[in-house]
Structure 1
């Protein structure tokens, strides 16, 4: 169980709820805000609620936060694209929902539902060479040629050898009579 203020903000359920997809050409997002200014409240809420899922959903996009810089009085978001294009989004006195909608319109990816391809993982067409399960046909990596032998099989073999060696030595000492080991 998570404790503290805002415990659900760093859970997997919250982070996987990405508000929108960024365009693949987006490389850097620069977010400038002020903690004490009233005109930055919407952007601060955006940073708290929307930036962590965006970072989780887009690990290749660098999101830089600059807070409390005296020479930059306005809260804004600047988006840098791969081709060198830069987009400036003014966030002064705007709500979090407005900022999210504006950023989605400027840097969001156009997504069509027909682009989704579903993969049935349990179908016979899907064969993963690294999948070792009972119903997949291979139970262990030692069944693949060229791999090192399984340590479990070696352990069983070693225990059998030790048992037979002790049994042989016990028979030798007692001239064919087996004593307790």
Structure 2
């Protein structure tokens, strides 16, 4: 099963739950015929985990169909056009998440590689926290004046020296 790694990721949150990054395009959730999720674990999955998955994967379309089958299931449509069916009957919500993560989740190495690529693509003129940018201070850019805490500034660039020069020329 060949899956294309999806480089698009949701931005905004600085700390992401990498456990819920997936590589699918769409997901269908089918409920039992009486219009209710028969078992409580599937209901918990819908209540607790579907919003997390939607937040972490904003490009994924998630639809719920009612009155289709006697047991609930998930159907995933991959980028390659394949469909994956997951039976969630008699599974807890954590088991469902772990199973889907095992089948369709991005590997930790892939997420780290994407994060590194994103960091390299950032503009080298930007500076800030090392976590988000390549440089912490403007003084690290070549051709800029170094930080006064590391290298003392020339006397001509300090305000104290300029004030003394003014006083000496006035007197």
Q: TM-score range by the shorter chain?
A: 0.5 to 0.7
Distance in structure 1 (CA, Å) of the matches to 2:62 and 2:37: 21
- Aligned partner of 1:20 in structure 2 is 20
The alpha-carbon deviation at position 54 of structure 1 amounts to 1.0
Q: TM-score, with normalisation over the residues of structure 2?
A: 0.54
After the TM superposition, list the runs of 4 or more consecutive aligned residues in structure 1 that deviate by more than 6 angstroms: none
Q: Confirm or deny: 8 A CA contact 2:37 2:43 kept in the other structure.
A: no
Q: Residues 73 and 89 of structure 2 are in contact (CA less than 8 Å); yes or no, is this contact kept in structure 1?
A: yes
Q: Which of residues 25, 29, 34 in structure 1 aligns to 2:27?
A: 29
Contact 1:19–1:54 (CA under 8 A) maintained in structure 2: no
Q: Tell me by how many angstroms 1:82 deviates.
A: 1.5
Aligned length: 110
Residues 34-49 of structure 1: pairs in structure 2 closer than 5 A: 34=32, 36-39=36-39, 41-49=40-48
Structure 1 residues 127, 52: CA separation in 2 closer, same or farther (over 3 Å shift)?
Answer: same
RMSD of aligned alpha carbons: 3.2
Structure 2 CA distance for aligned equivalents of residues 72 and 101 of structure 1: 23
> How much does 1:127 deviate?
3.6
Structure 2 SS opposite 1:50: helix
Give the superposition deviation at 1:37: 4.9
Q: Spell out, residue by residue over 1:92-115, the C-alpha distance to the aligned partner (whole angstroms, 9 max, x if none).
A: 111001100111011111221752
Q: Which runs of 5+ in 2 are unaligned?
A: 1-11, 128-136, 139-171
- Secondary structure in structure 2 of the residue aligned to 1:80: strand
Equivalence for 1:107:
104
Bigger Cα Rg: 1
Go from structure 1 to structure 2 and tell me whether the alpha carbon gap of 1:119 and 1:28 turns closer, same or farther (over 3 Å shift).
closer
TM-score (ref. length: structure 1): 0.51
What stretches of structure 1 of length at least 5 have no aligned partner?
Answer: 1-11, 129-134, 137-181
Q: Distance in 2 between matches of 1:107 and 1:57?
A: 14
* 1:53 match: secondary structure: helix
CA deviation profile, 1:98-142 (whole Å, cap 9, x unmatched)? 10011101111122175242849xxx93349xxxxxx98xxxxxx
CA contact 2:41–2:91 (8 Å) conserved in 1: yes
Secondary structure (helix, strand or coil) at the match of 2:71 reads coil
